[in-house]
């Protein structure tokens, strides 16, 4: 399986690709405020590249629970220099822009990004689909109830797996119906986005089911609150659990794993790959 952008082909092999998270925000739940200046951004990108990141995801607006939105102008001020920094350090690594705003996506793609990571699954900005189709950009379609500001207000499901599957099926159909090639669609069940701890654990237990949708599967579990609840861990102490979950996700068919700590997750997925290749 592979996905293609206008300038790149991203192939999936015997291990998941590791996507490093670069939050150039002031209020992200895990590392908000750490990478808002040029030197810090450059150092983090270098660290992710040295650890073997396969992709880098750049976000300029926090999507943590109860986060307030930022303006288009502010989001652009944050993400465009970060993308330029990545391109200066590595000309070809695939870069995704984590945004729900079409103009931010357009300018990010122009600056060197390759993929649109839209937590609204192309619902919040009607112009986003046109940007994706025009620029031949792969799109990550994620499941989320409501918006980051209110998604954790008593999320309820009759059957969380079936409802997410139905949602993603509809969004894939909608996107392809509006001109986006199916081979440019990646799906994400949206761990932590409008889900309780029990919902997140059920999604992980049944992760393999999302492979039935026929699109590459991205999982974003890194440092998330349900890990802290289950293990009574503060955010900064969740790396071991994140790496263990990364290895588990590899066994369930995840194609991309989105994490803050590239080094530890790369170790986990490479060890998983080595076991699979053993005689």
Residues annotated as catalytic (active site), given as ranges = 224, 258
Secondary structure of the chain in HEC code, one letter for each residue: CEEECCCCEEECCCCCEEEEEEECCCCCCCCCCCCCCHHHHHHHHHHHHHCCCCEEEEECCCCCCCCCCCCHHHHHHHHHHHHHHHHHHCCCCCEEEECCCHHHHHHHHHHCCCEEEECCCCCCCCCHHHHHHHCCCCEEEECCCCCCCCCCCCCCCCCHHHHHHHHHHHHHHHHHHCCCCHHHEEEECCCCCCCCHHHHHHHHHCHHHHHHHCCCEEECCCCCHHHHHHHCCCHHHCHHHHHHHHHHHHHCCCCEEEECCHHHHHHHHHHHHHHHHCC
d(Cα 155, Cα 178) in Å, to the nearest integer?
30
CB within 8 A of 50, min separation 6: which ones? none
d(Cα 169, Cα 59) in Å, to the nearest integer?
26
């Amino acid at each position: 399986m592979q996905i293609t952008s206008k300038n790149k082909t991203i192939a999936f092999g015997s291990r998941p690709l590791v996507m490093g998270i670069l939050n150039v925000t002031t209020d992200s739940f895990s590392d908000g405020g750490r990478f808002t200046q040029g030197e810090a951004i450059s150092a983090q990108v270098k660290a992710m590249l040295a650890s073997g990141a396969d992709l880098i995801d750049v976000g300029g607006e926090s999507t943590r629970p109860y986060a307030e939105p930022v303006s288009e102008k502010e989001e652009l001020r944050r993400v465009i220099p970060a993308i330029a920094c990545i391109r200066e350090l590595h000309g070809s690594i695939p870069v995704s822009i984590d945004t729900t705003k079409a103009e931010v996506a357009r300018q990010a793609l122009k600056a060197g990004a390759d993929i649109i990571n839209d937590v609204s699954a192309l619902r919040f900005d009607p112009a986003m689909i046109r940007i994706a189709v025009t620029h031949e950009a792969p799109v990550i379609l994620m499941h989320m109830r409501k918006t980051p500001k209110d998604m954790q207000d008593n999320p309820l499901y009759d059957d969380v797996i079936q409802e997410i599957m139905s949602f993603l099926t509809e969004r894939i159909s909608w996107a392809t119906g509006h001109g986006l090639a199916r081979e440019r669609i990646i799906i994400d069940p949206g761990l932590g986005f409008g889900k309780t701890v029990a919902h997140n654990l059920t999604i992980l237990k049944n992760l393999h089911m999302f492979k039935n949708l026929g699109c590459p599967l991205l999982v974003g579990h890194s440092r998330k609150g349900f890990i802290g609840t289950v293990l009574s861990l503060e955010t900064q102490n969740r790396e071991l659990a994140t790496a263990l979950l990364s290895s588990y996700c590899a066994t369930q068919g995840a194609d991309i794993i989105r994490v803050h700590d590239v080094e530890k997750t790369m170790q986990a997925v490479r060890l998983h790959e080595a076991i699979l290749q053993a005689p």
